Amino acid sequence: MLEPVLQLDGVARDFSDGRVVRRVLKETNLRIVPGELTALAGPSGSGKTTLLTIMGLVLRPSAGRITVSGRDVTALGEDELATLRMDKYGFVFQQAALVPALSALDNVLVAAAIQGGRVRAETRQQAVGLLDKLGMKEYANARPQQLSGGQQQRVGIARALIGDPVLLLCDEPTSALDVESSHLVLDTLKRLSRDPHRAVVLVTHDPRVFPYADRLIKMEDGTIVYDTRAASAGGN
Which residues contribute to the site for other proteins (CB under 8 A)?
49, 52-53, 56, 58-59, 78-79, 82-83, 85-87, 89, 91, 93-94, 97, 99-102, 106, 109-119, 159, 171
Closer CB to other proteins, residue 60 or residue 65? 60
Amino acid in the structure at residue 55: M
What pairing do the DSSP bridges indicate for beta strands 89-92 and 167-171? parallel
Q: How far is the CB of 195 from other proteins (least distance, A)?
A: 20
Q: How far is the CB of 135 from other proteins (least distance, A)?
A: 22
Q: How far is the CB of 104 from other proteins (least distance, A)?
A: 13
Closer CB to other proteins, residue 114 or residue 230? 114
Q: How far is the CB of 41 from other proteins (least distance, A)?
A: 16
Q: Do 160 and 107 meet the contact criterion of CB atoms below 8 Å apart? A: no
Sign of CA dihedral 93, 190, 166, 42: positive
CA distance 196 to 67: 19
Q: How far is the CB of 232 from other proteins (least distance, A)?
A: 29
- Nearest residue to 134 via CA among 107, 102, 112, 113: 107
Closer CB to other proteins, residue 98 or residue 184? 98
Torsion, Cα 107 112 117 122, to 10 degrees, reads -100
Closer CB to other proteins, residue 16 or residue 236? 16
CA distance 147 to 157: 14
Which H or E element spans position 149?
helix 149-161
Closer CB to other proteins, residue 44 or residue 211? 44
